[in-house]
Structures are given as structure tokens and as C-alpha cells.
């Protein structure tokens, strides 16, 4: 178990949208409850998979409150709060902490490229000072393929050393297992999550925290079996990795939404917010067929 108790399968919750492009709180809550029933340890709304950077701060707050109003325990929530602006990031972070969320997932300020470790350190030190709450637990979000700004090992070590009660973990979405492995080995005590389930078993064998993966939105039950080592873990991992590869054959977020729309017989689930576009119907049909050939299962009847 990690220091914040969130080890396991964490789903970066998809954000459903109406046909008009507005967040659909009803479907959002329903999906979040289903994910917990499927075996997710925690939920991480408003990250990449959630189209978080296409949501306003006000929309994020409303959706977060809707989860709590539905009875979801804030101790199982790790909302994304990282923006380029320190005041806005602090505002979203304070809101999450005051609602009792177990932690927040924070991107580096990603607009300016080529910034130094010192500049990134000052950003986070300022953020922590502005929030000024002993309950604050931060999970760093390392995703250089999207941000082109990352967390170097010396920077992580410095943040952990200077803010040991705040910096709780890191999500490594570098796509490089050797990097994730190095983080786990070099940072004992820090919760290190793989950014995809393709390395979930390897992560766990080294003492990592698990995964925060987009496809947990549809494969949470299978990933939970790997986490709990139910049955043949190696075979389960191979199956999970094959399913992940199929989803990655097209734009990932529209693909996951299309599969959910199919299995729930709910075309509204296909909706994305611009600039993303829904997956074409013919491509969705082919993806569903390929997944079925892999034994992919989706029990939409589960309830929280």
C-alpha cells in the first residue's frame, strides 16, 4: 500500500459530453460508480483521458462535486488540477483538498518549453505555499509526449526531500518502461504508477503502486485481477496488453468512448469535445470485432 493508500488500479475517468459539447454530469457519475464497482482502487478525473485540458476550472469543480453528491468517497479521488497558471492550479487544488480528496494529480506547467529544473521547482514550491494545507498530497504527472516538459530524477528527489509530507507519488506516462523501473528503484517510498497497464505486472513485481491507465475505463476488472494476482498473472497481463494495443490502433480517447457507446447501446458516449473528434462508425465496428476476438468483456450492468 502506498503512503496515501491508493495502490492498485486507478482510472482516469472519461468525461461524457452532450451532443452540444457540454459535460454530462449524470453519465459521468454513473461511469465513476461503475468503475469503482469493477475494482478500481481510486479515480483520477480531469487528466488526459478525461479531456481535462478541454474543461474549464468551473466545469471541473461542478463535476467533482457531483461525484461527492452521489456518495463517492473523496478518499478514493485523485483529480487532475495542473494548469500553466499557478493561481488557477492552486485554486483547483484547494478545492479538491477542502472536499477531502486523497490527492491531486498535477502536470508541470507545460506551455513554455526548455524551462529549468529550478523554474519547475519554484512553480511547485509556490503552489504548495499557496495551498497551505497539511492535508495536501500531490502526485506528479510525468507525460513528456504531451507536455514536452518532464520531471527529472534530481527534481523529484529535491521535491521529495523538501516537501516529504506533500509529494506522495508520480504517474509515469513517458511510455518508457526503463524510466518507470528506474523511478521505482531510485525512489523507495514514493508511489510510482505506470501510465499504461502494459507494464502493470512488472511495476507491481518491483514494488510499484500500480497503474493509472486510460483503458482502465473498460478493463478495470481484468486489471484488478492482475493487481491481486488472481489466476495466471502472466497470462492476464498478456491479455490486458493485447487489448490495450487494439485501443491504441486509433485515437485512444475516441476509441474507448466508441467501445463504451457500443456496449452500453448509448451513442451519446461517442461524443468528444473539440478538437477531438468521435471515432468513425466503421472504425468503431472493426475495433469492437477485434476486441471480441481477444475475449474482451464489458459488463455494463455492474453497479456501485
Residue 77, strand partner residues = 43
What are the residues whose beta carbons fall under 8 Å from the beta carbon of 60, sequence distance 6 or more? 45, 46, 52, 79, 81, 92
Quick one: which of 72, 74, 79, 80 has its CA closest to 33? 72
What are the residues whose beta carbons fall under 8 Å from the beta carbon of 91, sequence distance 6 or more? 57
Whole-number Å distance between alpha carbons of 146 and 257? 20
- Residue 130: in which H helix or E strand, if any? helix 117-131
Strand order in the sheet with 210-212: 42-43, 8-11, 210-212, 191-194, 167-172, 138-142, 104-106
Residues with a known catalytic role: 141, 171
Residue 38: helix, strand or coil by DSSP?
A: coil
Side-chain-facing half-sphere of 288: CA atoms under 13 Å: 18
Amino acid at each position: 500500500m502506498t503512503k496515501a493508500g491508493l495502490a492498485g488500479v486507478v482510472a482516469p475517468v472519461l468525461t461524457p459530453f452532450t451532443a452540444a459539447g457540454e459535460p454530462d454530469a449524470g453519465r459521468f457519475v454513473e461511469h465513476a460508480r461503475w468503475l469503482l464497482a469493477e475494482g478500481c482502487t481510486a479515480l483520477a478525473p480531469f487528466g488526459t483521458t478525461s479531456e481535462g485540458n478541454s474543461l474549464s476550472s468551473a466545469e471541473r469543480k461542478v463535476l467533482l462535486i457531483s461525484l461527492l453528491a452521489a456518495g463517492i468517497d473523496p478518499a478514493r479521488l485523485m483529480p487532475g488540477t495542473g494548469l500553466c497558471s499557478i493561481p488557477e492550479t492552486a485554486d483547483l487544488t484547494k478545492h479538491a483538498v477542502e472536499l477531502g480528496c486523497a490527492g491531486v494529480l498535477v502536470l508541470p506547467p507545460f506551455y513554455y518549453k526548455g524551462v529549468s529544473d529550478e523554474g519547475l521547482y519554484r512553480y511547485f514550491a509556490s503552489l504548495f505555499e499557496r495551498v497551505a494545507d497539511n492535508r495536501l498530497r500531490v502526485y506528479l504527472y510525468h507525460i513528456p509526449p504531451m507536455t514536452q516538459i518532464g520531471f527529472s530524477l534530481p527534481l523529484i528527489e529535491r521535491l521529495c526531500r523538501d516537501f516529504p509530507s506533500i509529494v506522495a507519488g508520480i504517474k509515469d506516462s513517458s511510455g518508457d518502461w526503463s524510466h518507470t523501473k528506474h523511478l521505482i528503484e531510485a525512489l523507495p517510498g514514493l508511489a510510482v504508477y505506470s501510465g499504461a497497464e502494459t507494464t502493470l505486472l512488472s511495476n507491481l513485481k518491483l514494488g510499484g503502486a500500480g497503474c493509472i491507465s486510460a483503458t482502465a475505463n473498460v478493463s478495470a476488472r481484468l486489471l484488478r485481477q492482475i493487481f491481486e494476482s488472481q489466476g495466471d498473472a502472466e497470462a492476464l497481463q498478456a491479455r490486458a496488453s493485447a487489448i490495450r494495443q487494439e485501443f491504441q490502433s486509433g485515437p485512444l480517447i475516441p476509441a474507448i468512448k466508441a467501445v463504451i457507446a457500443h456496449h452500453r447501446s448509448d451513442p451519446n458516449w461517442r461524443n468528444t469535445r473539440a478538437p477531438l473528434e468521435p471515432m468513425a462508425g466503421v472504425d468503431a465496428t472493426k475495433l469492437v470485432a477485434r476486441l471480441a476476438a481477444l475475449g474482451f468483456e464489458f459488463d455494463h450492468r455492474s453497479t456501485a
